[in-house]
Copies of this chain bind each other. A is one copy, B any other.
């Protein structure tokens, strides 16, 4: 059994200029954006990746059918753009695996002829916030200005601890292969699945790529989640007042 197994679902000779990564992470922000795009574009699944570095776990679908924890590559050709997506269930369960899996993802990207990667994720702030900034990092300084023009915030302090996992490694290991990379991180509390943050990231991605992806569904989910967040805020305020009255 190979440590990493890539299963191509067809023999067709695919090509993609762009790879968009949205694997699981803080607030599931990247995953929400990438899956939304796959749905909007009706992108086609072309590859499945399984690995002994993934958690040793099968997932059960709504029909009760088990399947291995699995990451997937989708592809779409739209308005002259050929875009691949890297999405899925999991990230590596081990440090070494993160490097080796990213290397495998880049093998696929290189095979597809990818010239640029967008990695999408959340940036956990630890608190609920009104506004959602989208922080960025780039594999090359020349990519910064266009990103800023699209609304990406570059901050000396954020993200302080660097970027952990595939979103970060794809940028730097990709650069070694001559593939440009931009990482977009939507602010998110880190406590909830965050479609509002995903909506903000999609907005920036639309501006940055010239794609014009409909964001209605993400917006609806964001509004819905905002209702839940509002309730959490009320509970927190009530609790804070209670504590104050206790102290007072």
A residues engaging B (CB < 8 A)?
1, 3, 52-60, 62-69, 92-96, 98-100, 103, 136-141, 144, 154, 156, 159, 161-165, 168-169, 171-173, 181, 183
Do A95 and B93 form a contact, CB below 8 Å, given A58-B168, A156-B62? Answer: yes
Q: Are A68 and B169 in contact (CB under 8 A)?
A: yes
Nearest CB of B to A68, in Å: 4
Contact B141 A57, beta carbon cutoff 8 Å: no
Query: Most B CB atoms within 10 A — which of A96, A141, A144, A173?
Result: A96
Residues of B within 8 A of A168 (CB): 56-58, 66
Q: Is B164 a contact of A63 with CB atoms below 8 Å?
A: no
| Additional pairs, 6, CB under 8 Å, beyond known A1-B103, A59-B162, A64-B138 | A3-B96, A58-B162, A60-B162, A63-B144, A65-B138, A66-B137
Identify which of B59, B94, B154 contacts A96 (C-beta below 8 A). Answer: B94
